[in-house]
Amino acid sequence: MPTRKHQKKPSRSHRSTLSLQKTEILIHIYDLLPPGRISTVLWHMGTSLLHSGVVINGKEYAYGGHDRRGLTGVYWTKPRTEPPGGTFRCEYLHGFTLAPQAEVDAIIREASEEFLGTGYNLLTRNCNHFTSYLCERLTGEPAPGFLNRAASIGLALPCVVPREWIEVPDFDAADGAALDEDEEGYDSERARMLRSSGDQPRLVGQEDRDTGTEWDSEEERERGGNGKGKGKAPVRDSAGRMLPPAERAPIS
């Protein structure tokens, strides 16, 4: 009688039993130009003024400017929260990351240390530069180039492009009349943003800290303040251009 051969059971790998999970990396894109024919044409041409945020695990990360030295300009809020003066345009699936959550959190913290609020510049270091940086760190691929096409044009041809492409107007009212920033105030703009989302924008790494603005000197207060309370002044980028409300990081 033939002997029965022993069948060797397939050996199980001793590697981690945790299955790799892909995390979506989404880009939310907002148009900073008032709705109308011009913004529609520029959008389809890929040359509109855009704001963007990176959505990771239910949080949308973006970058804005402020006058507080040493403080990050990277913040997060509820996805699809329209910034003051911005209109949601589309969601773009950029890719996936296999990095565990701890590694993703570490990358975001590193990005927040790299992108300080005082380093913000509308043309050379804006929210779309941050989006591209974070996407590349997470997926190996930068964000699509059309996000910053308007900034690239403004940088290459500063004497040709319209002034409003470089110094973006704050926003328009529904009837097309510009609202006075001093009359409305930054707090009112923030209130409109929060009412629409129910989720307060928070600086990365500052969620459990007091981030109220304190000026280091009277000179800094006068440069960053408008006489109506600390931190309520028009915020300017590193080149002195006034930032639109959509590009201001929350610091209070």
* Residue 127 designated active-site: yes
CA angle 167, 170, 176 (to 5 degrees): 115
CA–CA separation, 54 and 91 (whole Å): 10
Among 248, 110, 237, CA closest to 190: 248
Residues, the chain, total? Answer: 252
Alpha helices in the chain (DSSP H): 37-45, 101-114, 127-139, 149-156, 163-166, 181-184, 186-197, 218-224
- Residue of 155, 120, 150 whose CA lies nearest to 248: 120
Helices (H) and strands (E) in the chain, counts: 8, 6
Sign, CA torsion 110/113/117/122: negative
Which entry of 66, 94, 127, 135 is annotated as an active-site residue?
127
Catalytic residues: 51, 127
